[in-house]
Structure formats: C-alpha cells, structure tokens
Amino acid sequence: MTAPNPLRGWQVDPAAIRTIGQGLQRPECILAERDGTIWSADARGGVMRIAPDGRQTLVLQDHAQAEGAPAAGFEARYIHTRGSLPNGLAFDAAGDFLIANFGTDSLEHMRRDGTTRLLLDSIDGQPLGKANFVARDRQDRLWLTVTTRTNPWTRSVGEKISDGYIAVIDGKGARIVADGLLGTNELRFDPAEAWLYVAETTARHVTRFRVGADGSLSGREIYGPADLGGFCDGIAFDSFGNLWSTLIMAERLIAITPEGEVLTLLDDGPPAAVAALDRAYHAGAVTPELMAAATGRIAPWMASLTFGGPDLRTVYLGSLRGTTIPFFRSPVAGQPLLGW
C-alpha cells in the first residue's frame, strides 16, 4: 500500500512562520549546514553567515571589497544588475562556495575568508550571460544555469526570449548541454542523478532531462503542468518525491506531486498586482513596474527554498527584496543534498 502524501491537505500557517537574520540584502539563495549555520547570498558582494545563535558575519568577495559600496536603487540593482550580485550558491567538496554571479555574469569560487577567483565568464568564445545557479553532482561536475544572454535581462521576460542554457564543467572543460531554454533558473537532481530538473522561469514550468554518463542531457520534457500559474524560480525535492517551487512575483510556494498535481502550500501574493502581471505576461507586455508591484510581504519576490535543521524539516525561504529569512516547519523532510 502506497503511503499517503504528507503534503496533501497541509499548508503553511503564516502565524507559525518565524525569521532569522536582519539587514540582509537580496538573500536570493540559502545554504544550510548540519550545525544550524545558515549562509545567504548578499547583494553587497558575498555571503552572510548566520550562526545558530543568530550572530551575523558578512563575508565579502575580495573584488567586492575593492569596488566599495554597490550601486543603489531598484533600477540599478534589479534591472541593470550593476555590481556583484551573488545569486545561486553551492558548497564545493571542501565547504567553500561556488557562486553564480548575476551581476558579474560569471561563475566564481570564494573561500570562507572572501578570497575569490574566476572560474568561468565565457563559453564557446562568447560572454556567459546571466549566470543564475550552480550545483555539484557526485562526480564533482559543476552544472551552471544561465537565465538569458539578453541585456537588460528583463527584456527576456517581456519578449519571452528563449536564449537560456545549461552548461556542465568537468575535466573536459565547460560546454553547453541544453540550449534554447526560457529563463533558466534553479536545477536539481533526483536521488539517483538520473534526471536533471530545471525551472524555466519565463516559460512558467519545470523541465527535466535524462543525464548521460558523459554529462549529456537528452529526452527534454515538461514535468508537471505546462503553466504553473506563475514564474517558477527555486526548486527542491522533499524525501517523498514532491518537487517544491517558489513562484516569484506570484509570491506562492507550491509543490508538484509525483503524479504531477500542483499543491499550493503558501500564498502571499497581492491579488490585483499578481493578476495584472499575469495578464501582461500572456499579452507579452511585462514591464519592470508591473514586476515591482507584484511583491509579497513574507518573502518579497520569493525566490528559493532550502531544507535544513537537524531533521531537514525546516524550510527557509530566500527572496530578492527581503531583508530577513522566513522559515517554518514542514511535515516531510527535504531530500539531502550532496555533502549533507
């Protein structure tokens, strides 16, 4: 007999949501460690370490320290993405950081003291584009998503430009293994690393590929509904096999069940602004102003989720416009990531 899905009939109680961290800047991606330490991407050009007792330490990349204060204002930071903007984070085998930098359009490595080196800023002789997310697999290969090659990146949303891609970096170098994606964002593997799942944000659905032994990707198909009703951004599996996703600018947290059904777990979107953005999306008329208006209160521009805590049942929400990290308890543990 199949066990019942622990998410069926369950939703996040907003009154049970707590927060950790304060004065954060663009905590888009969050990493959790076994001892309760939390790391979040920070728009000042580095990562914020939040100890289990709440004490914070900002670790800046050495080039961010040299550049000084980043450009201020919504237009400069979120539309033109000027300056270092650490986006997706992953631990390397030694526990240091791999950073997909949405501002410098590069993949970087940063030690815990801030020492930073460039790993990749071009591929096939062309600039990388908007580096969004990075992950590591059991073979120590790196997988990088690039949202778009379009500048400013917001054009790719309004015009639905399919110029995102996935690259793999291994002993043979860096190469594109999937191209023509629409707003390539976070990616995850199933436990066997047989399938790679990626959020196509601007297409508003999740796509998956079979992973070849040589790092090739094949069998592209949509996983779950063709339109999730919002811009899927961060994704993560739980131990039951549900694929959780944040819908940025719809300000919803959902889960796609193994059967392909969508469960709404949390909805913090301002209804009128979300509806206006949805209409504009279908009309091909998305503007930065409409995007800015579609902002929730719990995790403004809800961008990612991370399972943590000793039992992997604490869910942390990353955001682009928040200054703190909301978290709550889940009825099911997350899928352990590499190195947990």
Alpha-carbon span 180 to 164, nearest angstrom? 6
- Sorted by where each starts, the structural domains of the chain and their CATH numbers stand as 14-329 (2.120.10.30)
Sorting pLDDT into bands at 50, 70 and 90, what band is 66? Answer: low
Alpha-carbon span 60 to 48, nearest angstrom? 8
Name residues whose C-beta falls within 8 Å of residue 295's C-beta, 6 or more positions apart in sequence: 249, 251, 270, 273, 301, 321
Q: What is the token pair recorded at 219? A: 């069998």
Asked if pLDDT for residue 1 goes beyond 70, the answer is no
In angstroms, the Cα distances linking 75 to 62, 72, 154, 292 are 25, 8, 11, 10
Burial class from Cβ neighbours inside 10 Å (0-12, 13-18, 19+) for residue 338 reads middle
Sorting pLDDT into bands at 50, 70 and 90, what band is 152? Answer: confident
Which phi-psi region, left, alpha or beta, contains residue 161 (left: φ > 0; alpha: ψ -120 to 50)?
beta
Alpha-carbon span 276 to 173, nearest angstrom? 44
pLDDT of residue 288: 85
In angstroms, the Cα distances linking 225 to 1, 18, 265, 280, 335 are 27, 31, 16, 20, 22
Burial class from Cβ neighbours inside 10 Å (0-12, 13-18, 19+) for residue 259 reads exposed
pLDDT of residue 79: 63
> Torsion angle of alpha carbons 176, 282, 154, 102, nearest 10°?
-50
Q: What is the mean pLDDT of the chain?
A: 94
Cα-Cα-Cα-Cα dihedral sign, residues 60, 63, 67, 70 = negative
Sorting pLDDT into bands at 50, 70 and 90, what band is 129? Answer: very high
DSSP letter assigned to residue 238: B
pLDDT of residue 340: 85
Name residues whose C-beta falls within 8 Å of residue 271's C-beta, 6 or more positions apart in sequence: none
pLDDT tens per residue across span 229-241: 999 999 999 999 9
Q: Which amino acid is at 204?
A: R
Beta bridge pairs of residue 253: 246, 266
Sorting pLDDT into bands at 50, 70 and 90, what band is 312? Answer: very high
Asked if pLDDT for residue 339 goes beyond 90, the answer is no
Asked if pLDDT for residue 63 goes beyond 80, the answer is no
Q: What is the token pair recorded at 127? A: 């600039």
Alpha-carbon span 135 to 198, nearest angstrom? 11
Beta bridge pairs of residue 178: 166
Alpha-carbon span 267 to 296, nearest angstrom? 9
Looking at 47-174, list the stretches that DSSP marks H as alpha helix, in order from N- to C-terminal side: 62-67, 74, 154-158
Asked if pLDDT for residue 25 goes beyond 70, the answer is yes
Longest pairwise C-alpha distance within the chain: 60
Closest CA to 189 of 139, 225, 135, 260: 135
pLDDT of residue 307: 98
Helices and strands (DSSP H and E) totals, the chain? 5, 26
Asked if pLDDT for residue 71 goes beyond 80, the answer is no
Find the mean pLDDT for residues 34-57: 96
Alpha-carbon span 208 to 205, nearest angstrom? 10
> Is the pTM here over 0.75, yes or no?
yes
User: In this structure, how many other beta carbons lie within 10 angstroms of the beta carbon of residue 33?
Assistant: 15
